[in-house]
Structure 1
Amino acid sequence: MLKAKAIRIREPGGPEVLELGEVELSAPGPSQVLVEVAAAGLNRADCLQRRGFYPAPPGVPADVPGLEFAGLVESVGNEVSDWKPGDRVMGIVGGGSMTTRLVTEGAELMSVPAQLSLEEAAAVPEAFLTAYDAVVLQGGLRAGQTVLLHAVASGVGTAGIQIATAVGASSVGTSRSAHKLPRCTGLGLTHAVLVEDGRFADNVLAAVPNGADVILDTIGAAYLSQNIKVIAKQGRLIVIGLMGGVKAELALGALLAKRASIHGSVLRSRSSKEKAELTKSFIDQMLGKLESGELKPIVDEVMEMADVRSAHERMDSNETFGKLVLRW
């Protein structure tokens, strides 16, 4: 068995339950790759898992957080031909990326663009794959359409702004923090909307009277009725988060009248095959835009892995703009 240092969750609770420990892992199988992890992005899901609200899927370490990483290939299985030791790679996992070494499927890895550091690359996979999958593949966003991005200053939100611009679409973004919106506009956000007392619909419709063709929603129940109000005819609402609750009443008449649809989506628990397919699609359609600089990860701060408790405190306080990254 191989050994690695890892951040471990001692028990459900606040940031104080996070501690440095050690894990064992098997050597890579025929189609797998052993990666020496340099850095891992911190996501809202990590904080939820720490609190006991978002358990890891089967087969994933239950007490090691982390959904994305960047690092160097250490070794490969005998069926792997795309990667070799020393290659700079990044990717998503179902959990357990906050460790100094991990084993993952070779088909789920992406090359790190030459101009990105490994710390910057660690901010790419979860945010950009989530936004691309939800907005483009599921939402069908295309040139001339409009996407509404909630929590627009988040990692997924800032990725969504850039992806919308890349496909020729316009974007509307909401945030409860007024000081974050000008920075989003600087990334290419077309219309910035401040959420006040939980309301945004009237201001969204003032900016885009025909409504949003695609809505990327991380909030859930609290925003459902207003999302239906601002969704365009034949629009698509993609729900990827439930920070604002899990239950709400739905005005079915409005949904039918607009011939709109609601899609629920989660990335973490998808099969390896599904993740590999998404990764390949992103490589084909978007990785070149990262290499050219058209897309770029927005990193709020790079922190040492030893400071993981402080990083969780910052995430919990909603202070961040873009991504927090933890490095070994």
Structure 2
Amino acid sequence: MSQTMRAIDIKGGAGPIEALHIAEIPRPKPTGAQALVKVKAFGLNRMDLLQRIGQYPVPASAPKTLGVEFSGVIEELGDKPERSFKVGDEVFGLAYGGAYAEYIAVSTHMLVHKPKELSWEECAGIPEVWITATQAMYLVAHFKPGNSILWHAGASSVSIAGIQLAAADSATAVYATARQDEKCQFAVDTLGATAAFNTETQDWVAEVLKATDGKGVDIIIDFIGAGYFQQNLSAVARDGVVVTLGLMGGSKLKEGTDITQLLIKRVTYVGSTLRSRDEEYQGKLRDQLVEHALPKFKDRSFKLLIDKVLPWEQIQDGHRLLEENKTKGKVICTIS
């Protein structure tokens, strides 16, 4: 086997979309619990855009190559892999980086056997978004059946997963927000949300309070950050939880922000990330995904929505699609 491989690289180490190109780099060698996977497809995520321009802190042990989710075939194993994996197995998984490449070395603790019912492209779009939604909803927000929940950016990949998870696990109500009527309708008609509100044309806080008889929602999963901080405090219920997963609306609070409701409502406001978590933590999330979500992927109870599939030679087009913020579902690249 060649000691090199092709991978997406960034000219100058960081830069605009035009800096993305395919280059020849050393092929990784699996050690310990790792497997070397020949990549069939990989998913694109918003963190990739930030990492490309040098604004996303990458774990120290991660390769500089972009990409955290993939599907492919195991070609080699380290000396201490999980017993259930062998050379030739079709898998998908989550990594700390390196998925934009022909090969990736990744812990077997973060691999899942690919079901025959799912395509390579579908599997490549599962790990990051479904595990992130699972983490935010259960481990961080401590969701229980009977809770109500609101997912901001309702047509984003994580919210697509989260809305379905909440609806399937007996939430009393599942709300969503989006910036387009089409995306709001999509959240309700396709994903099963109770209601969705257009943040451009509606007072979404007033709509949430109206829908909940003034109580507010028990859990809010937020990707906007500072831009929705004040409104989240108004929309969350007493003893509610707000989980911040992104800062699309900025990181600096507006002058005059009033945190009184944080105290009066006893709100838990917490930030969370997945990529910086250790392997043991991520492995537990993988197990939870396999137990609760994988059967529903296989029987199609859960929808795996892909907006666009591109050959990896068109990686620049994939990043443009994410930056335009018009997608409903994953953007996937394939390697032939």
TM-aligned CA deviation for residue 40 of structure 1? 0.6
Deviations 1:8-28 (A, max 9, x none): 111333210100012213321
1:58-97 matches, within 5 Å, as 58-62=60-64, 64-80=65-81, 81-97=83-99
Residue 212 of structure 1 aligns with which residue?
217
Distance 2:128 2:3 in 1: 26
**Residues 1:292 and 2:295 aligned together:** no
TM-aligned CA deviation for residue 199 of structure 1? 4.9
**Residues 1:183 and 2:183 aligned together:** no
| One-letter amino acid of the counterpart of residue 236, structure 1 | V
Asked if the contact 1:166/1:294 (under 8 Å) is kept, the reply is no
| One-letter amino acid of the counterpart of residue 70, structure 1 | S
Residue 310 of structure 1 aligns with which residue?
317
Q: In the comparison of the two structures, how many residue pairs are matched?
A: 327
TM-aligned CA deviation for residue 206 of structure 1? 2.1
Is there any run of 5+ residues in structure 1 with no aligned partner, and where?
none
TM-aligned CA deviation for residue 313 of structure 1? 0.9
TM-aligned CA deviation for residue 301 of structure 1? 1.0
Indicate how the Cα distance of structure 1 residues 244 and 198 shifts in structure 2: closer, same or farther if over 3 A, else same.
farther
Distance 1:72 1:199 in 2: 48
TM-aligned CA deviation for residue 288 of structure 1? 2.2
Distance 2:66 2:278 in 1: 19
Partner secondary structure for residue 19 of structure 1: strand
Distance 1:112 1:294 in 2: 17
Residue 283 of structure 1 aligns with which residue?
290
Indicate how the Cα distance of structure 1 residues 223 and 86 shifts in structure 2: closer, same or farther if over 3 A, else same.
same
Distance 1:112 1:138 in 2: 28
Partner secondary structure for residue 104 of structure 2: strand
Asked if the contact 2:153/2:223 (under 8 Å) is kept, the reply is yes
| One-letter amino acid of the counterpart of residue 205, structure 1 | L
Deviations 1:259-317 (A, max 9, x none): 11011101111112221122122222322222232223210011110001011111111
Partner secondary structure for residue 267 of structure 1: coil
Asked if the contact 2:28/2:103 (under 8 Å) is kept, the reply is no
Q: TM-score, normalised by structure 2?
A: 0.93
1:194-209 matches, within 5 Å, as 194-196=198-200, 199-209=203-213
Residue 275 of structure 2 aligns with which residue?
268
Over the matched positions of the two proteins, sequence identity in percent amounts to 35
- Of the three residues 105, 108, 114, the one matched with 1:106 is 108
Is there any run of 5+ residues in structure 2 with no aligned partner, and where?
none
1:49-60 matches, within 5 Å, as 49-60=51-62
Indicate how the Cα distance of structure 1 residues 198 and 184 shifts in structure 2: closer, same or farther if over 3 A, else same.
closer
Partner secondary structure for residue 103 of structure 1: strand
Distance 2:3 2:308 in 1: 31
| One-letter amino acid of the counterpart of residue 318, structure 2 | A
Partner secondary structure for residue 34 of structure 1: strand
Asked if the contact 2:28/2:104 (under 8 Å) is kept, the reply is no
| One-letter amino acid of the counterpart of residue 233, structure 1 | R
**Residues 1:27 and 2:34 aligned together:** no
**Residues 1:237 and 2:269 aligned together:** no
TM-aligned CA deviation for residue 141 of structure 1? 1.6
Asked if the contact 1:2/1:27 (under 8 Å) is kept, the reply is no
| One-letter amino acid of the counterpart of residue 78, structure 1 | D
Asked if the contact 1:298/1:323 (under 8 Å) is kept, the reply is yes
Partner secondary structure for residue 325 of structure 1: strand
| One-letter amino acid of the counterpart of residue 143, structure 1 | P
TM-aligned CA deviation for residue 164 of structure 1? 0.6
| One-letter amino acid of the counterpart of residue 154, structure 2 | V
Asked if the contact 1:82/1:106 (under 8 Å) is kept, the reply is no
TM-aligned CA deviation for residue 69 of structure 1? 0.7
| One-letter amino acid of the counterpart of residue 222, structure 1 | G
1:147-166 matches, within 5 Å, as 147-166=149-168
| One-letter amino acid of the counterpart of residue 248, structure 1 | L
CA RMSD of aligned residues (A): 1.6
- Of the three residues 141, 145, 148, the one matched with 2:147 is 145
Residue 173 of structure 1 aligns with which residue?
176
Distance 1:76 1:165 in 2: 39
Distance 1:89 1:296 in 2: 19
| One-letter amino acid of the counterpart of residue 195, structure 2 | H
TM-aligned CA deviation for residue 198 of structure 1? 8.9
Q: Which runs of 4+ in 1 moved over 4 A?
A: none
| One-letter amino acid of the counterpart of residue 276, structure 1 | G
Deviations 1:222-266 (A, max 9, x none): 000000000011111111101111122653321121111011101
